[in-house]
Structure 1
Amino acid sequence: MTTGYRPEIIQRAFVDFVGSRLHPFWSLTTPKLRLIARQTINEELVALKFEANQAFKRLAFTIDDSWHGGQHIHLTVPIEGINHQRSYSLVGMFPQPADLHDAIFDNNAKNAVNDSASNNLCATVTIAIKPQGLVSDYLTQQAPLGTVFDSSLPSGDFTLADTSAKLTKQKSELSRSKQSPLLFIAGGSGITPMLGLITQALAQSRTVTLLYYHRTSLAKSPFQAYWQHLATAYPYFAYYMVNTADPNNYSSQLAGSRHLDVDTLSLLPLSLAESTIFACGSSSLLAGLYRALETLSLPSDNHTLAPKRSLRDNVIVERFGTALPDSDMSLGTNEETADIAVQTVYLRGRQQQFSSGTTLLLGAEQAGIRLSYGCRQGICQLCRCQKISGVVKNIQTGKLSSHGVESIQTCINIPMTDVILDV
């Protein structure tokens, strides 16, 4: 009798098809999440809690693995018959940290599914969303509790494990300690990937300092209660909140400035030379960080010919989102690296135009114009189109395009001048 390939008598795809007709949450192969609770964190962020199906749990973990803070998932969200895919940072995942859940979610809140699944913390996934744009507004305000969404598995390398390996490789000559202090610098919704990272770092007894720039009142929010709870529970955790919209609310311990600068970093109670710095926020926040670190760069060893070492080598920047990468940010006042100016984008084939100060794809969507896209991370190439004229900048590499005809991806390029696209 011959051996080799043997087709399945009943294929899993067929079982999934039948199962989805019986219950949309059932699947052998497709990770799915069911929305079971919402909680407003502050004026900028809303936390969403999901129940994970068996396929998600089986595929996301092995016996020895657990989730990594700083990762994200891709959600497929159907709106008016069209599937939209967006990436969101993970705040927590099973096994969910109880402290995090209790601090963010009100157990008596009305915006939760009242069944056993909503109380089963061993099968939940939590994300935080800034309500902006079509999909985020739908998830935070309109999607009925109990709605099921297809999901990717957790991914991303903005994690303690991966970044530790990278820094060790980059600076092996420094014999860097794996338990170096950690400094987290975030602005606005850039705090979302930090939540899981900080939780895991404290669980590992790491020394953690958080510097968070925001524009909303946190006095009565669950967010503020969470940070205070951590500061009380962990003596090696310190946090500093800087409300950039209220001059009376700047931290006196940080020189009373609403901008990230040399004085601010110098006053933090930790050694920057020994610290790993995680940063996520706007282009102006990251530019200020790099300018300050260049000023504070360490002198070279007089006994060697090695060049002066920069503290920028200690920085790990989250590439998820539309923040500019570190390239050229130290130039400070350079017009191409300051806050991105709004440019006009012309769609030659559609006889339309829109203004954009962010990626071309997001700018079009904010103007109500649909462009082709897939992963929104610069991977799948589905958003690629021809640029006829103008200069764009790749937010992943920092590379500027030419002025002429060039094939670009709209999800990872921002306009530096007026741009014409053949779309």
Structure 2
Amino acid sequence: MATGYRPEIIQRAFVDFIGSRLHPFWSLTRPKLRLIARQALNDDLIAVQFEGNHAFKRQALASDGGWHGGQHINLTTIIDAFYHQRHYSLVGLPKQPLYLQSDIDNSENSENSENSENKQSQSNIITIAIKPQGLVSNYLTQQAPLGTIFDSSLPSGDFTLAQAKLDIQSANRLPPAPSSLLFIAGGSGITPMLGLITQALSQGHTVTLLYYSRMPLAETPFLKHWQQLKDSYPNFTYHFINTEDPDSYLAGTRHLSAESLLALSLPLADTRVFVCGSQALLAGLYDAVQAITSLDMDSLKDKRSLHDNLIFERFGSLSHELAINGNSHNTDNEKDDIATQTVYLRGRQRQFNTNTTLLIGAEQAGISLSHGCRQGICQLCRCNKASGVVKNIETGKISSDGYESIQTCINIAMTDVVLDI
């Protein structure tokens, strides 16, 4: 009997179409999440929990033990008849307990009979922790009824332990086993660190956490989790810096500095550093590392810069570049130093002037462009550039002057630019 291509008698897309009409949560191929619980962790963070549909569980949880620490998902929702997309870091790892200061409950939906099916085991729960600010985040934390269904991507992102190994290999260095890892976070930047640290400890790494927050230690939402890890792993150390409490300062300073890094007594030349936080935190780390590199160049192997050891999870847009380039002071003035260019929208016969990203520049001029995550991940802002030179602020890459596809949320105009919009 001949073998080879065998067409599906019933297409999965057709099954999905029929299934979604019977129940919006059903799908063979499309990952979806259903909101099942939320709980305020402190004044800044709200934990939001979902259960995945069959497609999400099959594709995200059944392979390789689930997602990796540090990865994120893209959630899509409809608000006021418009689609909006936002990416959120996943808290913790699948099939592993997450110890919070208080248990998350779903009493808000206790009268909904369907909620009885939503009491899932820990292995089937997807948790994010977000600030109640911004259109989508406000909707998730305050407005969306429990039971609301969202389209979701599968977990993705390279802010993972695997990225550290790739960076070491690309620098032609043999990784120490087990190696020293330092995690630096500020505010909500702590959320991707939870899974990363747990994964690193399970692989035998020596792990140090440095966390900056304006909240007192007692109000730190993940303190119980860190204490549980400390009890289980003697090679785990954490430092909480309450920026309003001098008693918690490291090396006598509330800010991240060369002195505070040196006070950790880590072999910095052989320590991979994961960092997630605000522009000020990133810039402070850059300055601190640069100062240490200048003072102790002789101890660095192969005369490398300590900057080679940094792995960033960046929030925002143009602010990344300013922080990475070490411009930690007078940020507003630094933005003004970027030359203002004219951007033409050929299809709309409109134009605007900008010295920031194409997306933000258009919005400042009152022009609405398609967008999603605003961080170069979801691709919803992608369009065609007819002419002109742009710079990608994530990679630093300068484009050609010709026709090409670009993302408006992470590109700034280096010359006058014409977009096919």
| Range that drifts further, 50-59 or 2-11 | 2-11
CA gap of 1:76–1:119, structure 2 versus 1, over 3 A, is: same
> Is the 8 Å Cα contact of residues 288 and 332 (structure 1) preserved in structure 2?
no
Identity of aligned residues (%): 55
Residue pair 2:26, 2:53 contacting (<8 A) in 1 also: yes
Q: Which runs of 5+ in 2 are unaligned?
A: none
User: C-alpha distance in 2, partners of 1:185/1:323?
Assistant: 21
Residue aligning to 1:11: 11
Distance 1:197 1:18, change over 3 A: same
Q: Is the 8 A contact 2:383 2:420 kept in 1?
A: no
Q: Partners in 2 of 1:39 and 1:364 — Cα distance?
A: 37
Match of 2:146 in 1: 145
Q: Structure 1's 399 and 200: CA in aligned 2 closer, same or farther, altered over 3 A?
A: same
C-alpha contact (below 8 Å) 1:202/1:234 kept by paired residues: yes
Structure 2 partner of 1:313: 308
Measured against aligned partners, the alpha-carbon deviations of 1:38-67 in whole angstroms (never above 9, x if no partner) come to 122232222211101111121224554432
Q: Does 1:270 align with 2:269?
A: no
Q: Secondary structure at the match of 1:318?
A: strand
Aligned-partner SS, 1:290: helix
1:75-114 correspondence runs (5 A): 75-95=75-95, 97-98=96-97, 100=98, 102-103=99-100, 106-108=103-105, 110-111=107-108, 114=115
| Matching residue of 1:124 | 125
CA RMSD of aligned residues (A): 4.1
Partner amino acid, structure 1, of 2:82: I
Aligned partner of 2:297 in structure 1 is: 299
1:195-344 matches, cutoff 5 A = 195-244=194-243, 246=244, 249-252=245-248, 254-297=250-293, 298-300=296-298, 308-319=303-314, 321-322=316-317, 324-325=319-320, 329=324, 331-332=326-327
1:68 Cα shift?
A: 0.3
CA distance in 2, matches of 1:129, 1:385: 33
- Residues 160 and 281 of structure 1, relative CA distance in 2, 3 Å threshold: same
CA contact (8 A) 1:45 1:189 kept: yes
| Corresponding residue for residue 182 of structure 1 | 181
Please state whether the residue corresponding to 2:154 is helix, strand or coil: coil
> What letter corresponds to residue 52 of structure 1 in structure 2?
G
Distance 1:341 1:51, change over 3 A: farther
3-state SS of paired residue (1:219): helix
Say whether the 8 Å CA contact 1:12–1:29 is kept in structure 2.
yes
The answer to whether the 8 A contact 2:74-2:378 is kept is no
Q: Deviations over 1:326-385 (max 9, x none)?
A: 78845446767987579999987698989998x554687799964212564267374437
CA distance in 2, matches of 1:331, 1:41: 33
- Measured in 2, the distance between the counterparts of 1:325 and 1:89 equals 18
CA 1:214 to 1:47, structure 2 compared with 1: closer, same or farther past 3 Å?
A: same
Q: Match for residue 161 of structure 1?
A: 162
2:25 aligned residue: 25
How far 1:155 moved relative to its partner?
Answer: 0.9
1:14, CA displacement in angstroms? 1.0
Q: Deviations over 1:231-252 (max 9, x none)?
A: 34433222222233x2xx1455
Q: Which amino acid aligns with 2:233?
A: Y
Matches of 2:218 and 2:350, distance apart in 1: 48
Q: Return the offset for 1:28.
A: 0.6
Aligned-residue offset at 1:90: 0.9
Answer yes or no: is the 8 Å Cα contact 2:165–2:175 preserved in 1.
Answer: no
Distance 1:292 1:301, change over 3 A: closer
User: Which residue matches 2:35?
Assistant: 35
Alpha-carbon spacing, 1:63–1:202, altered in 2? closer, same or farther (3 Å):
same
- Give secondary structure in 1 for the equivalent of 2:85: strand
Q: State how far apart, in whole Å, the 2-side matches of 1:366 and 1:126 are.
A: 34
- Higher mean Cα deviation, 251-260 or 145-154? 251-260
CA contact (8 A) 1:283 1:339 kept: no
Kept in 1: contact 2:68–2:196 (CA 8 A):
yes
Aligned residue for 1:136?
137
Kept in 2: contact 1:74–1:85 (CA 8 A):
yes
Distance 2:64 2:4 in 1: 32
Alpha-carbon distance in 2 for matches of 1:94, 1:328: 33
Contact 1:388 1:422 in 2 (8 A): no
Question: Which secondary structure state, in structure 2, belongs to the residue aligned with residue 222 of structure 1?
Answer: coil
* Paired amino acid for 1:288: G
Whole-angstrom distance in 2 between the partners of 1:365 and 1:46: 29
How many Å apart are 1:253 and its aligned residue?
5.3
Task: Name the CA distance, whole Å, in 1 between partners of 2:107 and 2:373.
Answer: 34
The CA distance in 2 between the partners of 1:379 and 1:222, in whole Å, is 29
Question: SS state of the match for residue 191, structure 2?
Answer: helix
Q: How many residues align?
A: 410
Range moving further from structure 2, 333-342 or 56-65: 333-342
Query: Aligned in 2, Cα 1:345/1:151: closer, same or farther, shift over 3 Å?
Result: farther
**Structure 1 portions without partners, runs of 5+:** none
Q: 1:121 to 1:76 in 2, by over 3 A?
A: same
Bigger mean CA offset, 50-59 vs 311-320: 311-320
Equivalent position SS for 1:119: coil
Give the letter aligned to residue 184 of structure 2. Answer: I
CA distance in 2, matches of 1:364, 1:225: 45
Match of 2:370 in 1: 372
